[in-house]
Homo-oligomer: A and B are copies of this chain.
């Protein structure tokens, strides 16, 4: 709940931090594309700073996995392959259930209430999905907030950091575009069931619903039709 950014008191951020945020945003929204080299002087000119803070920001983004650096050649946006998607999913499938299990035993009352609010809002938007064009975007951002809140409630800062980096890198390619109403409703039902499991004091239940939740989502992105017949 009370997730206070480390530098909340200080409104002024350093130039390096600004460059870091702007470049990350531009990678996310596609302004910088895969395999594109980021020239230090170009970025510096665009943002009206010198090369020094740009270099420092790029180095951070390399450590976080957004860029890859080749000595004496520069930094470029990492390309997203099928192998990357697989790797991230394998990790999410163990890390996020872990987060839910841990959160189950130590979540605070207000945090739980907040999750219920998010779930309710998402359920409302789900029923509007055929009439409201913006519905899917709303669900996507509420969904992200739901998962993020749950992860923070795990009381494991490293786990939260890992998931933040891992999931954010993949979020570029993820939305609710290929969810029909039935799939959306199941997804919402999962959220609600996770909360029920937590309320019932069963970490294992919560953990397994989360796994089902992720696997159901995966199945939509990688269809593997296997309709039993006969």
What is A's interface to B at a CB cutoff of 8 Å? 7, 10, 13-14, 17, 52, 55-56, 59-60, 63-65, 71-72, 84, 86-88, 90-91, 94-95, 98, 102, 156-159, 162, 166
CA distance A57 to B88 in the complex (A): 27
Residues of B within 8 A of A157 (CB): 87
Are B159 and A71 in contact, with the CB atoms below 8 A?
no
Residues of B within 8 A of A63 (CB): 59-60, 63-64
Copies, count: 2
Residues of B within 8 A of A71 (CB): 7, 10, 13-14, 17
Are A162 and B162 in contact, with the CB atoms below 8 A?
yes
CA distance A102 to B89 in the complex (A): 13
**CB-nearest residue of chain B relative to A93?**
B98
CA distance A71 to B60 in the complex (A): 15
A-B contact pairs, 30 of them (CB 8 A): A7-B71, A10-B71, A14-B71, A14-B72, A17-B71, A52-B52, A55-B56, A56-B59, A59-B59, A59-B60, A60-B60, A60-B63, A63-B63, A63-B64, A84-B158, A86-B156, A87-B156, A87-B158, A88-B158, A90-B98, A90-B102, A90-B156, A91-B95, A91-B98, A91-B158, A91-B159, A91-B162, A94-B94, A158-B166, A162-B162
Are A98 and B87 in contact, with the CB atoms below 8 A?
no
Q: A91-B156, A91-B158 are in contact. List 20 more A-B contacts (CB 8 A).
A: A14-B71, A14-B72, A52-B52, A56-B56, A59-B63, A60-B60, A63-B63, A84-B158, A86-B156, A87-B157, A87-B159, A88-B158, A90-B102, A90-B159, A91-B98, A91-B159, A91-B162, A94-B94, A94-B95, A94-B98
